[in-house]
Amino acid sequence: MKVSFIFLILSHIHFTAYANSAYRYPYESSEAAAIRVLGAIPENSMSAYSTKKHFHDLNFQSVPQWSFEQLFNYFYYVRDLQFLEDPNKLVSARRLSWMYPDHGCWIRAQLMNYIFKQLGVPPLAKVFIYGNLKVDTFFSPRRSVSWWYHVIPMVRVDNEIFVVDPAIEITRPLLFTEWAGRQGDIQNHLTFAVCHPQTYGPRDDCFQPTKNSDKSAFSSISSYLSSETSRLKALGLDPKTYLDAHPPWPERH
């Protein structure tokens, strides 16, 4: 399978890149970060933030079904697909910004679903996770990043729920519980919202979003690709080696 097109990405950051920021400052609580980013949301809102629930209250009925073969094939395909123009002109085309996990999860989630649509695969439900999230990662000088929320596509395989999130785990899909557990205490301190495939950020309607956000995602990704290049340089890694067609990810050693 191959998507035979390269998108020209606009150089400016779309407003929604700021409006949906997932970054949590050191010692900032998730609640304080949500207020900083979202402001006040009406209590009757059906947004992805207002409809959050604890793990034991979640309903996965809207999550599409794949086979294990589809799960792994599509995971590697969407992880490796080079379909974006490189703003730094180091390589002929870029993947999504897996090696800059600090920001941009909502953009990556939207563009993953865009790729699935181009392949004729129904777009996946999105799961939002909220809390004092902290994730270990090789691609940060501090070896970890902190968020107040994170969002990613999710899928059902038999009776298990998986996520497609190469920014957290570059080598394989993760069980939903493992994915959440890598970010915090799934039973006590995290909340979640399982939303429509087109729900873009935490302030957007979880069940009946009224807009297609593909354009917003494409107009915002370029800045994060540049940040990914800068991050690799800051880590003493050769950007061209990691951004080219065969990066030295763990399973490639």
Q: How far apart are CA 195 and CA 186, in angstroms?
A: 18
Given the structure tokens 């570059």, which residue do they identify? 170
pLDDT digits (tens, 9 = 90+) for 50-97: 999 999 999 999 899 999 999 999 999 999 999 999 999 999 999 999
Q: How far apart are CA 49 and CA 204, in angstroms?
A: 8
* Amino acid 184: pLDDT: 92
- The sign one gets for the Cα dihedral 13, 26, 31, 124 is positive
Question: Any alpha helices (H) in 40-138, and if so which ranges?
Answer: 68-80, 105-118
* Amino acid 63: pLDDT: 95
Q: Provide the residue ranges of all domains of the chain, joining segments of one domain with +.
A: 15-252
**How would you write the pLDDT of the chain (253 residues) with one tens digit per residue?**
444 333 333 323 333 456 899 999 988 999 999 999 998 776 668 999 999 999 999 999 989 999 999 999 999 999 999 999 999 999 999 999 999 999 999 999 999 999 999 999 999 999 999 999 999 999 999 999 999 999 999 999 999 999 999 999 999 999 999 999 999 988 778 999 999 999 999 999 999 998 899 999 999 999 999 999 999 999 999 999 999 999 998 764 3
